[in-house]
Structure 1
Amino acid sequence: MNVEEAGRVFTTPQAYADEKWLHSATALLRRESPVHWVEAEGFEPFWAITRHADVARISRATDIWLNAPRPALARHSSSAEVPVRTLVQMDAPDHGVYRHLSADWFKPSGVRRLTERVQQLARRYVDRMADLDGECDFAADVAIHFPLYVILSLLGLPENDFPRMLKLTQDMFGAEDVDMTDKNLLETLADFFQYFQGIVSSRRENPSDDLGSAIANATIDGQLIGELEAIGYYVLIATAGHDTTSAAISGGLHALVEHPDQWRRLSDNLDLVPTAVDEMFRWVSPVKQFMRTAAEDTELHGVRIAKGEAVLLSYPSANRDEDVFDEPSRFDIGRTPNKHLAFGIGAHFCLGTHLARLEARALFAELVPRVRSIELAGTPQYMDTLFVGGPKRLPIRYTMT
């Protein structure tokens, strides 16, 4: 392909479901056009940024590069004004103020308090695999449920609402995949709004010790945060806190099955679980892109970017950058250092990073010692997406203790 064809992968949902297509295109752009202008029908034009150093530089320079008004790439038809605002849409000073409201829940000391509960849930879902008679769709039967259960338990939502939250999450992040949803984004956000509006009301009337109550009753300058801001917080945590981790877990298992030498290496040395998990996040890069808008005229690699123009930060590309990673197309569970950007970098570094790592580490620490053999039982299928995604089907056959 030429560089113009390569640039169009970012507006082609099917490209993210085809690893060869995606990584061939982004490698070409890193070499020949690292700041690449993209025009595609149905999208506002943007500059595609594909090198690790440039993604990191832009992410850190929050005075020049703004999240608002275009935090992520979307089609014209799905980019209309939405009724809620999340941390993803916020810039300073609001971003720092609102991020601080839940920071204690997600910093390492807060996450450590969840360790026993997360390990119990990991054991539950590995037991579930054992009950499925040696064959399952790991993406649909395990990976999609375990992180959802953790994050919704943290919010204090009733368990009988979990299926609804799963469907809404799939509707939001699966909007580009006909197998995942039949709703548009605004319909999905309206459903989230209605549900979480009730949660805000109930938590304000009857507060408890969960994160849901902490958000509903948070104050700024002595005043309760607005209902829309509280709902935006819930939407972000319930979706991003779940779907990204499930994508890394299922994509990580797929990588282990396709690299049996790495499976054996991990089976022989479970101390490698932490580095293996970071390699899974690099390998899968569940968040495909975020956007930033130039607050002033600027320049990158000799390319002039005008005030008001948008850039797309490509995380799958940054995480395969040859200038940063030794043999970036090699899956290496012991990779050290591993300076991947799967969780972002700078002020918008993923709030749930420590929880995501805890969940993935707990699951693989429980799963790997109990598996005696494992192989694919069919062809894995990945989501068509523009934003967040991973395997939607991962059929496996296995024996377990």
Structure 2
Amino acid sequence: MQEVKKIPDRLGRLIASPKAYARQKSLLVGLQWLRANQPLGRVETQGFDPFWLVTRHADISKIMRLHQLFHNGDRAHTLVPRASDEMARALTGGSPHPIRTLVHMDEPDHLKYRRITQSWFTQQTVGSLEHGIRAIARASIDRMAAHGSVCDFVRDVAIHYPLRVLMQILGVPTQDEPWMLKLTQELFASEDMDLGHGEAGSGDPARHAKELFRLLREFQAYFVPLMERRRAAPAQDLASAIANAEVDGKPIDYFEAVSYYVIVAAAGHDTTSSSISGGLWALCENEDAFKTLKADASLIPRFVEEAIRWTTPVHHVMRTATAEVELSGQRVARGDWLMLCFLSGNRDEDVFDEPHRFRLDRNTSSNALFGQGVHACLGQHLARLEMRIFFEELLSRLTSVEIAGRPRRSASIFIGGPKTLPLRYSMN
């Protein structure tokens, strides 16, 4: 085995910096260098526990499928500062997780809880929702048209559409959607001074944990009464399925039910809205691709896959080794923390030809990192359907579109994407 080599300090700081994910250029260049020269390396940077950075697509896929060797739940599931991890453990009585969802679980719990909602997200069940989703997409595009010829696509359109879809499935009343939008936006954006509630750069190393616990209290204040109403009077919605679920023959407890509501509402919303915005941003910069899609709507599913790869709204996940293992000639010890860098894997030259170009002629459906193995994204069929329907409806009406200002990405290590996308357009 090779001698353990630490990743260069400058790159380690980039990996752990939310601002680097907003700008991306330097980060992507650094990840490209790592794939070629140090695909598995140790990051030691101030304020964080040491961790392994995994940058190649093949290694990331392998680790994701070895779910017994690499656990989700033993340590924090995302990269958090040491002070935030310590605060989380202090407030939870030892757990690194302020919230416990499917992504924080390993077997056997993971499968037990996944079964609660699995039937709601099968390809067949999701397909039956197409008519209702298409109506929501058309209403969203009508809202865009009502802005005239300019809008901020993220703020005016993209963040509202998938939220409306999810809230209908979940059973949240329309009048509560603005509140849910506020909470879901803040949950993954606490590192961004524009989107988060706290002050980025405040110097408080535990700010991430404090923000997360604050938001979870607000989610709990909303979802516990909803859960109680659905237990008393079940409806044909996902909120009722979760509220009345049983695990090991006992009713699901409040903490894990609220956790379930949060992950359904938040994760499915932010990732889909980011991929929609990222896809349209790419079309603005690729006039030929825009014309091609306008001429042949059958290519939209392929466009959706490339938009997911191109945007990569989930930048990384963390895993913990349960035993000593050799990876890429390095010895990973039991208990070691590993960052699976999707942002790098989805730009891997060994898998994607010209990975830094947005191309409609590639088939990424089986290659883009979107969750694999037992932890494959539960809502992936819904997300793809939402995106396909939205762009079918949008491209049937959009006659021209261009960027009218400076688009910006969110400053977020975990989940992120465009936070502003000013457009000028014409519609029929």
User: TM range, normalised to the smaller chain?
Assistant: over 0.9
Shift of 1:40: 1.7
Partner of 1:46: 51
Partner of 1:168: 183
Amino acid of the structure 2 residue aligned with 1:182:
H
Alignment of 1:133-172 (within 5 A): 133-172=148-187
Q: How many angstroms apart in 2 are the aligned matches of 1:115 and 1:142? A: 19
Q: How many angstroms apart in 1 are the aligned matches of 2:80 and 2:184? A: 17
Q: Deviations over 1:104-135 (max 9, x none)?
A: 00010110111101111000011111111110
**Does structure 1 residue 17 correspond to structure 2 residue 22?**
yes
Shift of 1:157: 0.5
Q: Which one of 336, 339, 360 corresponds to residue 333 of structure 1?
A: 360
* 226 and 250 in structure 1: CA distance in 2 versus 1, 3 angstrom threshold: same
Q: Secondary structure at the match of 2:53?
A: strand
Shift of 1:338: 4.2
Q: Deviations over 1:198-223 (max 9, x none)?
A: 11111111110100000110112332
Shift of 1:337: 4.5
Partner of 2:308: 281
Q: Which one of 118, 131, 134 corresponds to residue 119 of structure 1?
A: 134
**Does structure 1 residue 371 correspond to structure 2 residue 398?**
yes
Q: Does the Cα contact within 8 Å between 1:318 and 1:340 map onto a contact in 2?
A: no
> Identity over the aligned pairs, expressed in percent?
46
**Does structure 1 residue 5 correspond to structure 2 residue 16?**
no
Gaps of 5+ in 2: 1-6, 90-96, 199-210
Amino acid of the structure 2 residue aligned with 1:165:
M
Q: How many angstroms apart in 2 are the aligned matches of 1:221 and 1:301? A: 40
Give me the CA root mean square deviation: 1.3
Alignment of 1:2-401 (within 5 A): 3-68=8-73, 69-79=75-85, 80-81=88-89, 82-183=97-198, 184-401=211-428
Q: How many residues align?
A: 400
Q: How many angstroms apart in 1 are the aligned matches of 2:137 and 2:172? A: 19
Q: Secondary structure at the match of 1:55?
A: helix
Q: Does the Cα contact within 8 Å between 2:134 and 2:389 map onto a contact in 1?
A: yes
Shift of 1:83: 4.6
Q: How many angstroms apart in 2 are the aligned matches of 1:30 and 1:84? A: 33
Q: How many angstroms apart in 2 are the aligned matches of 1:182 and 1:221? A: 38
Q: How many angstroms apart in 1 are the aligned matches of 2:314 and 2:218? A: 23
Q: Secondary structure at the match of 1:102?
A: helix
TM-score when normalising by structure 1: 0.97
Q: How many angstroms apart in 2 are the aligned matches of 1:398 and 1:275? A: 23
Q: How many angstroms apart in 2 are the aligned matches of 1:178 and 1:11? A: 16
Q: Does the Cα contact within 8 Å between 1:292 and 1:310 map onto a contact in 2?
A: yes
Q: How many angstroms apart in 1 are the aligned matches of 2:396 and 2:357? A: 24
Q: How many angstroms apart in 2 are the aligned matches of 1:231 and 1:50? A: 34
Q: Deviations over 1:137-158 (max 9, x none)?
A: 0000000000011011110011
Gaps of 5+ in 1: none
Q: How many angstroms apart in 2 are the aligned matches of 1:232 and 1:315? A: 24
Shift of 1:227: 1.3
Spell out structure 1 runs of 4+ moving beyond 3 A.
Answer: 81-84, 337-342
TM-score when normalising by structure 2: 0.91
Amino acid of the structure 1 residue aligned with 2:100:
R
Q: How many angstroms apart in 1 are the aligned matches of 2:371 and 2:13? A: 23
Q: How many angstroms apart in 1 are the aligned matches of 2:426 and 2:218? A: 41
Q: Secondary structure at the match of 1:385?
A: coil
Shift of 1:7: 3.0
Q: Secondary structure at the match of 2:292?
A: helix
Shift of 1:77: 3.8
Q: How many angstroms apart in 2 are the aligned matches of 1:95 and 1:190? A: 24
